[in-house]
Amino acid sequence: MAAGTEERKNRMFNIHKESFEWGGRTLTLETGKIARQADGSVLATYGETVVLATAVGAQSAKEGQDFFPLTVNYQERYYAAGKIPGGYFKRERAPTERETLISRLIDRPIRPLFADGFKNEVLVVCQVLSHDLENDPDVVAMVAASAALTLSGLPFKGPIAAARVGYINGEYVLNPEIDTYKESKLELVVAGTRDAVMMVESEAQELSEDVMLGAVVFGHDQMQVAIDAIIRLAEKAAKDPRPVPEDIHAPVREKIRAAASAELSKAFQLPIKFERRDALSAIKKKFAADFVGTDEGKVPANVYGSLLHDVEADVMRNAVLDTKKRVDGRDLTTVRPILAEVGILPRTHGSALFTRGETQSICVVTLGTAEDEQFVDSLEGTGKQTFMLHYNFPPYSVGETGRMGSPGRREIGHGKLAWRAIHPMLPTKDQFPYTMRAVSEITESNGSSSMATVCGTSLALMDAGVPLVKPIAGIAMGLILEGDRYAVLSDILGDEDHLGDMDFKVAGTADGITSLQMDIKISGITKEIMKVALDQAQDGRIHILGEMNKALTGARAELGEHAPRIEQIKIPVDKIRDVIGTGGKVIREIVEKTGAKINVEDDGTVKVASADGESIKAALKWIRGLTAEPEIGQIYDGKIVKVMDFGAFVNFFGPKDGLVHVSELAAKRVEKPSDIIKEGQAVKVKLLGFDDRGKVRLSMKQVDQETGEDLSKKASAPAEG
């Protein structure tokens, strides 16, 4: 039966495979069996994690298309981990934040490697079909996507590969398994070609520049075996390459360069963004009459705009390389003027305004309780996040109109980058039992707003009283590379990001890096350039931290006036049911009567929160009364709940009752208890102990009912004189 199935499979499919050992596990790339109508299709298996990657390119570009329409979609199916999606709808819906971030992760290194002038629409889809909860599918998806593109025949100048790098006990670790992430001081993903690095994304526990550079180099070296396997697979299964588009507009571009270069050079000497923008717009209009049209030597308006953009880039880039001066007059390393302010909003828990040149962010921090934690549903299971950072980029921040809606991929990506930078410096849950939400509202943008978010969020957290381990700052570096000449730029402007070759963001403390992200628009950069960028970024980061310190050097000693207070105690696990009560009856009563929020965790940790200190005290007293054990010899306030002929039952310790025997009611002989006490009466009692059956024995006569003084101690004290 098995032999027959294999024979039918061979007749139906033309299967090719490549396998190699990678990080102690086998990665297998297979093509020819699944999704055969796609231009390129690869099934990648790593351990028991399986990802299907497909690539399809349109046969022609849309008429008038003036940009490269590449879409990358990474999708995690819950069946991959044997799960059914949570919530009301039992199917996958909008992309999760993780899916969006990994889609960006795959997009960033492959986009620059498509041939110049190629404008056909391309769709890359990576679907996680199986997840073993040990091998993270993101890097597997990146390798599979590269392989699918390499087989597709599309003009893709790859292949690339990727690797995850950990740093455990002073050693680099290739593709660490998911359950070892918490042991690692680094989680870094690097992607690149055979010769150069294309993309880096990381979160680090305050590591040095040398360690970070070493991690990038290690990852690049270790990914070469994957590149070799993709090439071997392509030699067997790749489709014929599509023709690379010819640059038919080169003569017109050269005419535009000759006509407009001098005026463009003057425009790029204007240091103010809007003056420069208006000057460039005027130049574009001025020469449109000479180059836009249907006559010979002229081009459509959208093509003219693209050609002029190419000339603008050349003019700006060569001016920087020739003069070592930038469009706003700065040298290569100077950071724009910075002003940091805190406490700018009266009712928020923490706030800051961070302004660097023409980039500005209002950052606001809100403190909450365990009820505010974010539940995150993923293939690995449902978890909780106690720190959230959300980034908003409205059109007015760049002087434009536009629709405002739900956050896009850019907003999610920038917010996560800032989250990674801040996260390693947050206090532990035991040190600071709050849920924290930070929001960055970008109000101006000309340069890296994500790094302004890092700086502003660090200040806002400290303004809210969050005891950060150390303040964090970030800086964006740029690159201009022409042949053997290059210039690394500190604190890049929007134009330098747009027309340059690199966006290299580094965040960290005065002592080390907490996050690093790099994107390259060319075919990669060398170790030498990366080292220059890291060293230059360190100097810039230290300078920015110094400017931030003028506003605030550490967390405020007290929380803001309007922030909730949280106190926590630990109770025995077997007492949790006493605090919660049947169906939650007891805890609801405590909340209703005291006004405090209460959260009880499985390990017995009880968090009590309120803006009113008296509410917290009342709730804690109640909880302690429910969970603590009474001590022999201690005096307690009580209430008589039942009067009997032989004494009275008194509620004295939360739900606990005890018996005051008739002989312990008063110093004199009592014939009938109801003659001297009544139900509901408040009394003071002393715990004498427990009888053979564990019943509580109390005394009223040994306690002064007015003062609560222990009369037995007074009687046994030696007389004076």
Q: Give per-residue pLDDT as tens, 408-464.
A: 999 999 999 999 999 999 999 889 999 999 999 999 999 899 999 999 999 999 999
Number of Cβ within a 10 Å radius of residue 328: 21
In CATH terms, 565-627 corresponds, of 2.40.50.140, 3.30.1370.10, 3.30.70.260, 3.30.70.980, to 3.30.1370.10
The reported pLDDT for the residue numbered 720 is: 52
Task: Please give the backbone phi and psi of residue 433, each rounded to the nearest 5 degrees, phi first.
Answer: -80, 40
The yes-or-no answer to whether 10-237 and 565-627 have a common fold is no
Give the homologous superfamily in CATH for domain 338-549.
GHMP Kinase, N-terminal domain (3.30.230.70)
In CATH terms, 250-323 corresponds, of 1.10.10.400, 3.30.200.20, 3.30.1370.100, 1.10.10.10, to 1.10.10.400
- Nearest-5° angle of CA 210, CA 338, CA 470? 45
Paired strand residues for 46: 27, 49
CB 438 within 8 A of CB 350: no
CB 292 within 8 A of CB 301: yes
Number of Cβ within a 10 Å radius of residue 587: 21
- Nearest-5° angle of CA 643, CA 664, CA 703? 105
Identify which of 176, 148, 146, 177 has the alpha carbon closest to the alpha carbon of residue 162.
146
Identify which of 704, 685, 708 has the alpha carbon closest to the alpha carbon of residue 696.
685
Identify which of 113, 96, 74 has the alpha carbon closest to the alpha carbon of residue 191.
113
CB 146 within 8 A of CB 199: no
Q: What is the CA radius of gyration of the chain?
A: 34
Calpha distance 508→513 (Å, rounded):
4
Beta 338-342 vs 186-192: how paired, if at all?
Answer: unpaired
Structure tokens at 710: 């222990």
Give the homologous superfamily in CATH for domain 10-237.
GHMP Kinase, N-terminal domain (3.30.230.70)
Name the DSSP letter for residue 345.
S
Give the homologous superfamily in CATH for domain 635-716.
Nucleic acid-binding proteins (2.40.50.140)
Residue ranges of domains in the chain: 10-237, 250-323, 338-549, 565-627, 635-716
Letter for the amino acid at 491? D
The reported pLDDT for the residue numbered 4 is: 65
The reported pLDDT for the residue numbered 721 is: 44
Task: Please give the backbone phi and psi of residue 559, each rounded to the nearest 5 degrees, phi first.
Answer: -70, 160
Residues of the chain under the 50 pLDDT cut: 1, 721
Paired strand residues for 437: 366, 388
Q: Give per-residue pLDDT as tens, 23-54.
A: 999 999 999 999 999 999 999 999 999 999 99
Calpha distance 508→490 (Å, rounded):
15
Identify which of 164, 117, 125 has the alpha carbon closest to the alpha carbon of residue 39.
125
Handedness of CA 530, 532, 534, 540 (dihedral sign): negative
Calpha distance 525→534 (Å, rounded):
13
Reduced to 3 states (helix: H, G, I; strand: E, B; else coil), residue 87 is coil
